[in-house]
Amino acid sequence: MKRKRNEATIQISDARVYAHTPKSYKNYLLHVPFILRIIALILVIIVLARPQTTNNWQQSEIEGIDIMLAIDVSTSMLAEDLKPNRLEAAKEVAAEFVNGRPSDNIGITLFAGESFTQCPLTVDHAVLLNLIKDIKCGIIEDGTAVGMGIANAITRLKDSKAKSKVIILLTDGTNNRGDISPLTAAEMAKSFGIRVYTIGVGTNGTAPYPYPVGGTVQYINVPVEIDEKTLTQIAGITEGNYFRATSNSKLKEVYEEIDKLEKTKLNVKQYSKRQEEYQLFALAAFFCVLLEILLRNSVLKKIP
């Protein structure tokens, strides 16, 4: 009985005799495929992040400019001395002007017998351009309230922190509506440091105007009456300029001239170069995956 107690009841194999046996290089490579896969995954994440390097230098003093476009939408703007008519021509050059000033805050005031803000000051020029496309005559009571148009634009600019504040007013007539006279509005603009550029749009003499008769349209020649004296005074009071646009090309030249006058206040010098740097990471990830596949199918290939 005592002898049986000293004997083992279960016998198991013991590998201690092989502890000092030299290990094969395969033992050291066993976990390499997993490590390569982790490295490849990290590299793919870096590639998806699109790393870039930027070399730039900038020496600039930017003077912010806030601009309100005050556009006459009275029915006389449908006259076709400019093509296809005065309003559409004004919208086209206004859109070009906006596209040429991507860094400026620009808004729109519309006026006829009354005035309202079509778009407050914004740098979202995509929205602004869509609103310019939607401008049409007849959306407010007819008439020409030049003073109200300026006053409405002033309310949008008076609290601006920009160093330069500008109103570009376009009209084809004479002030005949509104509670604020154009010269009073000009004095208000001056008190807030706002410069007003005025544009009188329309040919000399008479202009063809489409007049609906029944289901047809007849054209009558209407006299072009632009109060150039008042528009010149408005510009003079606010240290702006008055321009006369008698054709599409002249109107475009006017906006180009205003664009140059205001851009002299910007002094920006900037160089920037971006370069994609993901290629090396993608190449490294490819080689990691390739090496893993080679190891699994050669050195570490399992015997079936």
Q: Is residue 270 part of a domain?
A: no
* Cβ–Cβ < 8 Å for 116, 140: yes
Q: Is 4 inside any structural domain? A: no
Least confident of 68-72, 128-132, 205-209, 266-270: 266-270
Q: Show the CA angle centred on residue 168, arms to residues 147 and 80, nearest 5°.
A: 90
Residue 163 is predicted with a pLDDT of 82
pLDDT of residue 201: 96
Contact 122, 107 (CB under 8 A): yes
Domain membership of residue 78 (yes or no) is: yes
- From the list 188, 169, 170, 181, the residue with the least C-alpha distance to 145 is 181
Q: What is the pLDDT of residue 2?
A: 54
Contact 121, 68 (CB under 8 A): yes
Q: Pairing relation of β-strands 115-122 and 105-111? A: antiparallel
Contact 93, 199 (CB under 8 A): no
What percent of the chain clears pLDDT 90, i.e. is strictly above it? Answer: 57
pLDDT tens, 282-296? 888 888 888 888 888
Find the helix or strand (DSSP H, E) in which 207 lies.
strand 206-213
* Residue 281 belongs to a domain: no
Asked whether residue 6 carries a pLDDT value surpassing 80, the answer given is no
All residues at 6 or more sequence positions from 102 whose CB lies less than 8 Å from its CB, including other chains: 125
What's the confidence (pLDDT) of residue 302? 63
* Alpha-carbon gap, residue 252 to 256, rounded angstroms: 6
Mean pLDDT of the chain: 86
Nearest to 104 by CA among 135, 88, 128: 128
Find the CATH number of the domain harbouring 127: 3.40.50.410
Tell whether 36 is covered by a domain. no
Residue-level pLDDT at 4:
56
Instruction: Give the model's pLDDT for residue 17.
Output: 62
Query: Which has the closest alpha carbon to 258: 132, 116, 106, 137?
Result: 106
Does residue 30 belong to any structural domain of this protein?
no
Quote the pLDDT of residue 11: 66
| pLDDT, tens only, 35-73 | 888 998 998 898 888 887 766 555 545 556 899 999 999
- pLDDT for 68 equals 97
- CA dist list (Å): 95 to 108, 131, 261: 11, 10, 18
| Residue 159 maps to a domain | yes
Domains identified in the chain, total number: 1
Q: What number of CA atoms fall less than 13 Å from residue 51's CA on the CB side?
A: 11
The predicted-structure confidence for 172-229, as pLDDT tens digits, reads as follows 999 999 999 999 999 999 999 999 999 999 999 999 999 888 889 899 999 999 999 9
* Lowest mean pLDDT across 63-72, 210-219, 241-250, 269-278: 269-278
Measured between alpha carbons, how far is 220 from 223 in angstroms, rounded to an integer?
Answer: 10
What single-letter DSSP state applies at residue 30? T
Q: Are strands 242-245 and 164-171 parallel, antiparallel or unpaired?
A: unpaired
Average pLDDT over residues 79-84: 94
More confident residue, 23 or 97: 97
Residue numbers of the domain that contains 74: 65-263
**Is residue 171 in some structural domain?**
yes
For residues 237-252, average pLDDT: 95
